[in-house]
Amino acid sequence: MNAITERHRCECWSRRPLPRAPRERTVSRRGRFHPIMAIYLSMQRVRFSSPDAYEKFKVVFADTRHHLMKLPGFLHLTWWEHPDDRMWFNECSFWASKEALYDWHTDTYHKHAKAWAANGAIMEDIITNFELVGTRLLRICPCCNELQDKPYDLGQEQAVLREQCPNCGFHFPYMTEQESSFGVFKDLAPGPVSTNGKEPAAAQANA
């Protein structure tokens, strides 16, 4: 194969759209399909007004895990520090739907914590929200070199991460809930997730 043909193949591959995660569908009594709400992702890039403000923030934030775990639509929260800028932080959270994230925004504890942070502790907060397009898990077993490359259900990520190597039984490392609340994780319970006391759209469509 000549260089031109190979380059053409690479360019065509680079233009291929990412595969979309198949959305589950439910059927109403009239036989119509209704998509279940998409999983929602939120990212916040944060700068604090001073190192002391960040230390005080950690005291307040540590209690977050107790409140998140009560929310049926909560999935994942992690807190990251940029290696080249120690005062630039990134919070990532995953939710069963946009409405599930709204449940958190209306939580009494969260509203008070947000008001405290806005009263001088935080200098900058850049908020970016997304809907999930797709998920894949790539694993190479350090024991037998077995390669896994597969799509998976983000709503059941914790169960997937606990799976052993299918070839040799190696246990892959994974993070559990942290007392700092810088790592909080939960899988969705079976059945529709309630949002603000209401059933999600897909469940309503089945009624």
**Considering only CA atoms, which of 183, 185, 184 is closest in space to residue 159?**
185
Instruction: Please give the model's pTM, rounded to 2 decimal places.
Output: 0.71
CB 167 within 8 A of CB 200: no
Ordered structural domains, the chain, with CATH: 38-133+175-206 (3.30.70.100)
Cα 91 to Cα 45: distance, rounded to the nearest angstrom: 7
Instruction: State pLDDT tens for residues 126-181.
Output: 999 999 999 999 999 999 999 999 999 999 999 999 999 999 999 999 999 999 99
- Report the alpha-carbon distance of residue 94 to residue 75 in Å, rounded: 5
Whole-number percent of the chain with pLDDT over 70: 74
Which residue, 25, 69, 97, is CA-closest to 179? 69
Q: Higher model confidence: residue 37 or residue 205? A: 37
Q: Grade residue 191 by pLDDT with cuts at 50, 70 and 90.
A: low
Residues 5-20: tens digit of each pLDDT: 444 444 444 444 444 4
Pair of tokens at residue 65: 């895990």
Given a cut of 60, is residue 22 above it in pLDDT? no
- pLDDT of the residue at 28: 32
